[in-house]
Amino acid sequence: MSERYLSINSIYKATEGEGINIGRPQVFVRFQGCFVGCVNCDSKDTWAFSDSDQDKWTLTKAIDEIWSLSGEGSLTWISITGGDPLHPKNVPGVEALTKELKKKGFLINIEAAGTRVVPSLFDLVDYISFDFKTPSTNVRTDVALIQKMEQLYKGKFQIKSVVESKTDFEFCQKNYLDLKRQLDRFAFPWVLTPSYNVNESFPEKRFQDVLSWNESNGAHFRVIGQQHKWVFGSSAKNV
């Protein structure tokens, strides 16, 4: 294995807390570095890039840690997240890691920020969780990227959107209906995640609102909260 340095914030074992794979134990690899800038980001400690190899993991060390945390392959799923694992500075390292993990028989999920489709990587992985950013994030996802995902990765991805307000819900609803008109077949799951912000108490009213808006407006979405925040609190890391 050729040695390579990867910008990794942390590697840890936990149970998937959100999206359609909620409840699945897996090993998470959290890459460091993100320029996307969501205002309600709960991982701002992952934003800074470092150019120093001293702050990085070698590919060998990362593989060893994943192998150990997975119980030598007992946990089959690895989730690559961030930060932004799809930032061009991270993609070569993520690709190298993915190739080595695939050789060991792991299945790979990647968390995509919704800012780019990266076929060289998406072709390698087994599942893609692709964000469709809502107005409350102050970041925009180009709807053409969702169309591209449906063309290239049918059956292999989910869309996830954080919903903070009715404006966010209505934005998702409008774009859902527009896409439905444009695409021949529309089979991917679109998950609404009621926001549960850092240091916030459990937002029961917001959660109830999102459930109600969805139920009353065609029920196009799956509403799935962030289970790990209910269990460990909204500020806990790597859980």
Residue nearest to ligand SF4 (CB): 41
Cβ 204 to ligand SF4 shortest distance, Å: 23
41 vs 210 by CB, closer to ligand SF4: 41
Edge-to-edge strands, sheet with 222-223: 8-15, 25-31, 77-81, 107-112, 127-131, 157-163, 190-194, 222-223
Distance from C-alpha of 37 to C-alpha of 40, rounded to nearest angstrom = 9
Chain residues binding ligand SF4 by CB under 6 A are 34, 36-38, 41, 43, 46, 82-84, 113
41 vs 101 by CB, closer to ligand SF4: 41
46 vs 173 by CB, closer to ligand SF4: 46
26 vs 46 by CB, closer to ligand SF4: 46
Cβ 186 to ligand SF4 shortest distance, Å: 25
Cβ 58 to ligand SF4 shortest distance, Å: 23
The answer to whether the beta carbons of residues 166 and 150 sit under 8 Å apart is no
The answer to whether the beta carbons of residues 118 and 85 sit under 8 Å apart is no
The answer to whether the beta carbons of residues 163 and 203 sit under 8 Å apart is no
Cβ 67 to ligand SF4 shortest distance, Å: 26
Cβ 234 to ligand SF4 shortest distance, Å: 14
- The closest alpha carbon to 82, from 36, 15, 22, 137, belongs to 36
38 vs 117 by CB, closer to ligand SF4: 38
Q: Counting beta carbons within 10 angstroms of the beta carbon of residue 219, is it exposed (0 to 12), middle (13 to 18) or buried (19 or more)?
A: exposed
Residue 79, H or E segment = strand 77-81
